[in-house]
Amino acid sequence: MADLRLDGDIRNWVLIPITIAMFLVGVVRHNFGKLLKSDAKVDLKALREAQAVIRAERVRNNAGYIQSHGFRQRRHFFCHETTGVFSKKSEKLNPQQQMMSDPSMMTDMLKKNLNMIVPQMLTAGWVNFFFTGFVVGKVPFPLTQRFRGMLQRGIELNSLDVSYISSLSWYFLNFFGLRGVFSLCLGENTLDDAQAMQQQMAMGMDTNKAFGAVKESLDMLQHEFLLHVAEGRAERLLRTLERGSAAADAEALARRD
């Protein structure tokens, strides 16, 4: 299809206001969160267990870049039947027991939820009421049809090119993509909506089940050192190039003769 020519008023009265509003809401949330923040008690045991799960996931995801003996040592550290980290029973209390032992925990959770959910609900309602149905921009590269639901929320037009962005999708892109801007303007200790959502979901996680799942995934992983494969491919490529250069030199000599 032919490219659409977007009106400049859409840029001035839709795209820019949404971006500025999202930035200002983030600044207000950042400062309001500082006012609500209290001195939280850190459970070192729970923190140690959570970090162990994160480390094991990183080992599993990046195992191809670790040599075989290094991977075996890490798997032994995490998954050994007697001394492994995930073979021990978790000492972390479940969320209900934590709330019973520390009533201020529920208050802190309520403050965080209010600071995260209420401003975003108001902003989303504002964008959906005033700016729904607008096409505000276009990404500078082609995309597949799988991105239509992410980039064209609020627009039911299958003939429209996937690379065009609706106003509601622009709101969600700003919602998850302004972290770097906040870090530059407000410092490193800024609000991260994606991380906050993950923390909220992790609150109800059963640590023993998480240990079992991560241990099983590490035990079943078939390790393969990817750099050996890359090294072999590089050697074959160099040999091909050398043969090609040698053939070219021989052909050049033959022409001279």
On whether residue 152 sits in a domain, the answer given is yes
Considering the domain architecture, whether residues 204 and 239 belong to the same structural domain is answered as no
Considering the domain architecture, whether residues 131 and 244 belong to the same structural domain is answered as no
On whether residue 74 sits in a domain, the answer given is yes
Considering the domain architecture, whether residues 256 and 194 belong to the same structural domain is answered as no
> Across all residues in the chain, what is the average pLDDT?
79
On whether residue 156 sits in a domain, the answer given is yes
Greatest mean pLDDT range, 25-34, 96-105, 201-210, 229-238: 25-34
Neighbour count for residue 208 (Cβ, 10 Å): 15
Considering the domain architecture, whether residues 136 and 166 belong to the same structural domain is answered as yes
Instruction: Judge whether residue 230 has pLDDT over 80.
Output: no
Q: Which domain holds residue 119?
A: 8-224
Considering the domain architecture, whether residues 136 and 24 belong to the same structural domain is answered as yes
On whether residue 58 sits in a domain, the answer given is yes
pLDDT at 255: 66
159-213 pLDDT, tens digit per residue, is 888 889 999 999 989 988 888 888 888 776 555 555 555 554 455 556 777 788 8
Domain tally for the chain?
Answer: 2
Considering the domain architecture, whether residues 77 and 30 belong to the same structural domain is answered as yes
Considering the domain architecture, whether residues 121 and 152 belong to the same structural domain is answered as yes
Considering the domain architecture, whether residues 233 and 163 belong to the same structural domain is answered as no
On whether residue 2 sits in a domain, the answer given is no
Considering the domain architecture, whether residues 52 and 96 belong to the same structural domain is answered as yes
Considering the domain architecture, whether residues 242 and 216 belong to the same structural domain is answered as no
Closest C-alpha to 173, from 144, 142, 136: 136
Q: Which residue has the tokens 């059963």?
A: 206
Considering the domain architecture, whether residues 169 and 240 belong to the same structural domain is answered as no
Minimum mean pLDDT range among 47-56, 151-160, 184-193: 184-193
On whether residue 35 sits in a domain, the answer given is yes
Which tokens belong to 90?
Answer: 């978790």
Considering the domain architecture, whether residues 119 and 171 belong to the same structural domain is answered as yes
On whether residue 1 sits in a domain, the answer given is no
